[in-house]
Structure 1
């Protein structure tokens, strides 16, 4: 099942789609206004989010696709978004290319311990159709399409799409600048929905595609499969949660799967579209922050 959070006139609602019909779960239970509310209720009843949604559907109003597209917002209010680095070979090559100290990345791809870093808070995260940001003090910026694992109390409950927008010029000057290259206003996009874990047969075999539009033209397109990821979602989640007081809701982005060839540089008013099989398409314009 696919879950969307909607917002209109300052009011949040939660809806679910079974592939043919979209249901307003808030109309069936006014206490369910976010994906977090549903995950929390499922946890209390020791059921899955899909089981709980199924029980509510017969009492829920239906919604049109037009209503969902009009009011859709970020699909999960994750208190923290974290991300993994160098989980695809292309990411290792890009890190080495941009860096003035490329040797630091040589052992990350094959190391026992993955790279896990903090990415965003809710105030820095945008949803479908909202503008992602590029820093005004950066000379080289790229979007980074990633599969996101949605966690409730450290346990996977679904998947979404993430855009880990990054400054390659700032990170390239010195690896210690990674937080500034990664964490800033509008640095992360999530969406368009959360697909439950039960609805994804294998998160390590999903086709992915990214297209970037500029002034009516396609300036980049690329595709891959999550099977190219050298680490599993379970491994990345394990390293995120170990010895760490994780928040109730979190998202772990699993690594950059596609990187435009240099000297590609993301520009204001570009439009980035990231598609992942069985999840959908996350589309965002670009602005400067």
Structure 2
């Protein structure tokens, strides 16, 4: 089942899509206005998120999919978004090429411990059809399409799409500049929905593609599969949660293998579309911040 958070005339609502029908769960229970609300009730009742939603469908109003697409916001109010790096071979190669210290990326790719880093807060995260940001002090900015793991109290409950927008020129100058290359205004997008774990057959076998348009023309287009990840979702989550005070709701991005080659540089006005099989398409414009 697919869960979308909506903003309808200033009112927050949670919608669920099952097969070809979409339902407004908030119309059945006014206390449910977010994905986190549904996850919290499921945790208290000892049921799954889908069981809670299904129990309300007979009382919920149906809504048009076009309404969901137009009014969708960030699909999960994650207190923290983290990300994993160098989980695909092509990502390791790209990071080596950009860096003045390339060996450290090869070491991470082959190491037992993955690279995990803090990515975003709610105020820095945008949703479907909102604009991501590129830093005005960076000469090389790229999108990074990634499968996102949605966690409730450290447990995997679903998946979404993430765009880990990055300033490669800043990170390339020195790996210690990673926080500045990764964490800034509008540096992360999530969406368009959360698909619960039971409805993703295998998170490591999903087709992923990204298209970037500029002035109506395609300037980048490529595709891959999450089966190219060197680490499993469970392994990444295990390192994220160990010895760490994980918030109630969090998202862990799993790395990218679609890397636009230099000299490609995102520009204000570009349009980025990221599609992951079984989840949907996350669309974002680009602004300078």
Q: TM-score, normalised by structure 2?
A: 0.99
Q: Aligned equivalents of 1:54 and 1:276: distance in 2?
A: 25
Distance 1:280 1:257 in 2: 18
Quote the Cα distance in structure 2 between the aligned partners of 1:85 and 1:67: 35
Equivalent residues in 2 for 1:273-288, closer than 5 Å? 273-288=273-288
Gaps spanning 5+ residues in structure 1: where?
none
1:76 aligns with 2:94: no
- Cα deviation, 1:176-222, whole Å, max 9, x if unaligned, reads 00000000000000000000001001000000000000000000001
Shift of 1:102: 1.0
CA distance in 1, matches of 2:208, 2:241: 26
Cα distance in 2 between the residues matched to 1:74 and 1:12: 11
Superposition pairs for residues 1-289 of structure 1, below 5 Å? 1-289=1-289
Return the alpha-carbon distance in structure 1 between the equivalents of residues 159 and 165 of structure 2.
Answer: 19
Following TM superposition, by how much is the alpha carbon of 1:19 offset from its aligned partner in structure 2, in angstroms? 2.0
Q: TM-score, normalised by structure 1?
A: 0.99
CA distance in 2, matches of 1:242, 1:187: 26
What do residues 220-261 of structure 1 show as CA deviations (whole Å, max 9, x unaligned)? 001000000000000000000000000000000000121011
Deviation, structure 1 residue 2: 0.2
**CA offsets per residue over residues 69-112 of structure 1, 9 Å max, x none?**
22111100000000000000011011001111112212111100
Distance 1:261 1:148 in 2: 23
Distance in 1 of aligned mates of 2:35 and 2:224: 29
CA distance in 1, matches of 2:17, 2:257: 27
Aligned with 2:47: secondary structure? coil
CA distance in 2, matches of 1:269, 1:71: 21
Return the alpha-carbon distance in structure 1 between the equivalents of residues 162 and 67 of structure 2: 23
Identify unmatched segments of 5+ residues in structure 2. none
| TM-aligned CA deviation for residue 8 of structure 1 | 2.0
Which SS does the other structure have where 1:38 is aligned? helix
Superposed CA RMSD in Å reads 0.6
Aligned length: 289
